[in-house]
Structure 1
């Protein structure tokens, strides 16, 4: 468990830095662009490569590539493994992968008017909106190629337990995008033409992808590894990787595929709906990215090693520990976000072109989204149980069932409840996917709930209830300060966060929801870090 805690701490810590910069980015974006024509067009343009990134590069490709590369790296030379075999496999994949990305990106950019029409045909009803969305989407799409190569390089490093470079790369994205917002704002000046800001942002997206790729290439070389460009060749291992990627593209990405579904429905709603949904998802993505991505990234190579060694008991223990860590962090986060959503949206986003009415709608969207937050994170833990065994087909069926339910619910609720109903449908479908994955894992004997795990989660819920009661009492009493001066916003939110966190952890300690072994490991890690710093 110590290695899992160490890896999650590294990934989660750097992801936290990235999420903070991302939060600053979206705060600036809300104030500079608001929730209007240019903002919606940019959000669609950024959604296309970003969702493909999560779905394919960080989803299907990573979960298929890392176990195969890890097996080649840690296998014995007599079985065709070792450093040379791993390097050969990585070179073969890079040679094919690069051409696939170039062809796919070129075709997508040519067909962009049709893609935008499929996702946002209602943009044609607003003069200039459809054309702007097509232009911005073509400018941002090269980002997908760069970030897909970043995912491969991160996979090579992750298999060697070097998680920091891949976790730091998103920080570069947000820094470049912040610079793009500021540059666009300066160029717009007093003209009031929001298209200038949107164009500057779209250009900065592709520039950010190039910066991330350059950084990961440097990190790989710094680790003593050399990748070589060769003529593409479909070796048996590359073919096997392709066969794993195809179903994993769907199975690993129910949340990302739901993003396309949500985008389709959101673009049919009043102007600004897509922007409000994406900004609300930023609050949801904070704990999801820090906890879910960190756990999923850390657990996959470890789980693959235990399964390859035939150690089923250790694999079960690893998943149980990850499950407990996930609920310990996401249950209080979901409850706090749901109760304090009006405070967060008012304090962070309202101002400039972002109105109080926008903030009120966004708060309701946040409440609906975070209802599925624990499920979003737990899926990241359950999926590696299949991918580490190179079973990418089973998640396809659970994802398909969940997606069908998502679409069916959207058809009913979007007309009645608008963008808030759409967000709620996403939460329901993610929860269903999580439940189906666990049922299959349990029936196959690959992972099961133990009495200890169930008891720990039940105690966590008690602690969450205590925290929720306090926040519910505090929210109306601090309401006048959430949209006040900068000082008022800071101290009122700080009061909520500090009081809520203190009550949760105090209650968790009293009812035994905290794993003393985990706390001891974290304490030892902090002490070791302090000692190293002094030296």
Structure 2
């Protein structure tokens, strides 16, 4: 989450009221955030849409059983390692340090970038080699009760996919540099290329494979196809950023001549960020292992595919609304909040947070409502193809319904974390994460021990929702003291109005679901009809009632979007 170019004339404080100047909730600050994040939102939307096409293609090719569990678990490892050793540091440490170095001196900032990039490349090379060697250890941790051919295949995939760590890290670091240079297009669009390659790989796998492929029956050629496409997609995503890097004026010249105190400053900030990431990854390791164990139990009890892959696919769907609007708003807000925090203008940091949270809620709340109401249709349309049946898709829908509850607290918690990072406080998020992860782990173990096997992953998703709520509440309590308030009254009024506007959406979507289900039953075409009619009609009703209730953020968003339409 990185820097952003403020359009001319925008109030850098965000224009919110409080101490800052009396703009209303739909005023200049909110509009500025939306305009700043527009290109990121469009790129993120394209990335997520093609990402879901990729997911749907992989589900069609691999199904949701043992083969898919092995592939998805192994392909999660590179991202886990990246998050552990670089991802959190980029967000919370590197970007703010680069921004401040540039503000201090442009030439010094450029040299500082070179040093950090060199350190990252060397570190990523070492980490990648280590991850290849540790493939069996990762599968032991995340693979749950995997055994036999499934475990052997997962270990092989883990070793091969570990190569992605290098490309993933270079890509992320390049994107961070581009964003600090106010170049947002390439980092948001490059993942589309990766998704297209994976879609092609899944399509090729469908063409060359016959019947149901299992970990025991998959051929070496099929393994090579999946591995080559997966790694190649990430490599292409990385290479695609270099023309934009050069266009921004960045020329990498390897150098490690760090000045006295530079590494120490980064290390002091990074240690708490790494603590936060390690704590959260412990929670993820537990939930992944238990989900895989549930899948093994489900196959032994002849309950179908009820393991990690359905949970994984539901989580991908759950993140879409946040990724489109939340990430864009946060990316636009982080450098602004960092500037205000550096100047000790905490009332403006509070106003930035309030504007960002209210803007996110305009999309997040109706998205959560539609997920809960139309989960079955969403998963049937996306996933019930190839090796995946309608009943398999319904398992994903059951998990998605529970994840829908988590969407609002998840978005709020993520935004609160960025407030801490803007204040260069990486310690507090680490402590908050302890409460979140303890809640998550406790609920996951409870679900595994208490619930029927086919409901375990639903219970784990419920534990995730409760954990995010705990994180949001604890973060709110701490920030309220640090910022001298949270603009809670205005946030509460906006949420109340949006909640009222949601009821017509919910009623219409449910009515369409009930009518089509009674008339046509389940299936691809009925599901598509419900999604199109229910979402469109419900969305129109939501916007109408939100405008009737004078929700300023909705009007600001609609105005910003319509101004960007052709001919306007």
TM over 0.5: yes
* Displacement after TM superposition at 1:524 (Å): 7.2
**Residues of 2 paired with 1:253 and 1:163: CA distance?**
29
Residue 100 of structure 2 corresponds to residue 61 of structure 1: no
Alignment match, 1:289: 323
1:156: which partner in 2? 177
Greater Cα offset, 168-177 or 201-210: 201-210
Aligned match of 2:501 in 460, 463, 472?
463
Q: CA deviation at 1:54?
A: 4.8
Q: Which runs of 5+ in 1 are unaligned?
A: 76-80
Partner of 1:357: 391
Q: How does 1:231-242 map to 2 (within 5 A)?
A: 231=256, 233=258, 235-242=260-267
What is the alpha-carbon distance in structure 1 between the residues aligned to residue 309 and residue 223 of structure 2?
13
Q: Please give the alpha-carbon distance, in whole angstroms, between the structure 2 residues aligned to 1:395 and 1:171.
A: 31
- 2:20 corresponds to: none
- Pick from 435, 438, 458: which aligns with 1:404? 438
Give the conservation status (yes or no) of the 8 Å contact 2:114–2:254.
yes
Assess, with a 3 A threshold, how the Cα gap between structure 1 residues 194 and 185 changes in structure 2: closer, same or farther: farther
Q: Given that residues 39 and 198 in structure 1 are in contact (C-alpha distance below 8 angstroms), is that contact kept between their aligned partners in structure 2?
A: no
Contact 2:132 2:162 in 1 (8 A): yes
- RMSD after superposition: 2.3
Q: Distance in 1 between matches of 2:477 and 2:49?
A: 36
Unaligned runs of 5+ in 2: 1-28, 297-304
**How many residues in Structure 1 have an aligned counterpart in Structure 2?**
521
Alignment partner, residue 243 of structure 1: 268
For the structure 1 residues 503 and 378, does the alpha-carbon distance in structure 2 shift closer, same or farther, using more than 3 Å as the test? same
Structure 1 residues 460 and 485: alpha-carbon distance in aligned structure 2, compared to 1, 3 A threshold: closer
Partner of 2:108: 85
Check the 8 A contact 2:381/2:524 in 1, yes or no: no
Contact 2:374–2:531 (CA under 8 A) maintained in structure 1: no
Q: So what's the TM-score if we normalise by structure 2?
A: 0.86
Post-superposition CA distance 1:152-174 (Å, at most 9, x none) = 11111222332222111221221
Contact map agreement 1:288 1:377 (CA 8 A) in 2: yes
Partner of 2:544: 506
Q: CA 1:234–1:49 in structure 2 vs 1: closer, same or farther (change >3 Å)?
A: farther
Report how far residue 423 of structure 1 moved.
1.0
Correspondent of 2:349 among 305, 315, 324: 315
* 1:139 is the counterpart of 2:160: yes
Distance in 1 (CA, whole Å) between partners of 2:319 and 2:196 is 18
Q: Is residue 7 of structure 1 aligned with residue 36 of structure 2? A: yes
Partner of 1:324: 358
SS of equivalent residue, structure 2 residue 254? coil
SS of residue matched to 1:372 = helix
Whether 1:439 aligns to 2:477 is: yes
Aligned counterpart, 2:63 = 34
Deviation at 1:276, TM superposition (A): 0.8
| Mapped partners of 1:190, 1:265: distance in 2 | 29
Verify: 1:494 aligned to 2:519, yes or no: no
Tell me which residue corresponds to 1:78: none
Q: 1:244 to 1:55 in 2, by over 3 A?
A: same
**Cα displacement (A) at 1:191:** 8.5
The alpha carbon displacement at 1:103 in A equals 1.6
Instruction: For residue 311 of structure 1, report the CA deviation from its aligned partner.
Output: 3.2
1:60-96 superposed Cα distances (whole Å, 9 cap, x missing partner):
3222111111111123xxxxx22x1111111111222
Residue 383 of structure 1, CA deviation = 1.1
Q: Cα distance 1:253–1:158, how it changes in 2: closer, same or farther (>3 A)? A: farther
1-structure distance, mates of 2:153, 2:530: 40
Q: 1:416 Cα shift? A: 2.6
Cα distance 1:160–1:27, how it changes in 2: closer, same or farther (>3 A)? same
**Does the Cα contact within 8 Å between 2:436 and 2:467 map onto a contact in 1?**
yes
Residues 306 and 90 of structure 1: CA distance in aligned 2, closer, same or farther (over 3 Å): same
Q: CA deviation at 1:253?
A: 8.1
Mapped contact 2:377–2:528 kept (Cα < 8 A): no
